[in-house]
A = this chain, B = another copy of it.
Amino acid sequence: MKPLGQHYLLECDGVEPSLLANPEQLEQILRQAAQQAQAHIVFAHLHHFGEGQGVTGVLVLQESHITIHTWPEYAYAALDVFMCGQAQPQLAVAYLIEQLQPQQHRWQMIERQSLNM
C-alpha cells in the first residue's frame, strides 16, 4: 500500500509564552511553514481565546492541513502537519521547530491511507 499522506504530530515544550499568545505571529509562521513544504493554502483561521491566553487555529491546504493549539500557561503547543501529494511536510515541521524554538520537542509521523489504493 502506498501512503496517501503523511501526518506529523508535533509537541513543543518550553516555547516562549508571549509567542504562544500571539495569533498574528503564529499565523505568519504557519503560512511560511506551508510555503516551505510547497503546499497551497486554501484558507486560514486562527482564534485567540483572549489576552495572554492560547490560540487555536488551522491552515486548510489543498494538500490537507496544518493545525496549532497553544497553552501559554504550560509553554506548550500541539501541532499537526498533514500533507498529501507532492508537498514535503517534513520541511514544514523543521521550519516550525526552528521558529518556535522549543526547549524540548518530539514528533511522530503516521501514514494516512486508504486500504483500496
Contacts and interface: CB of A to CB of B under 8 A. Distances in A.
A47 B60 contact: yes
B78 A4 contact: yes
Given A78-B112, A110-B9, A4 B71 contact: yes
Contacts of A58: 45, 58, 60, 65, 67
> How many chain copies?
2
A60 B104 CA distance: 26
A46 B109 CA distance: 25
A64 interface: yes
A7 to B, nearest CB: 7
Nearest to A12: B114
Given A45-B45, A108-B110, 5 more contacts: A9-B112, A11-B112, A42-B56, A74-B117, A75-B114
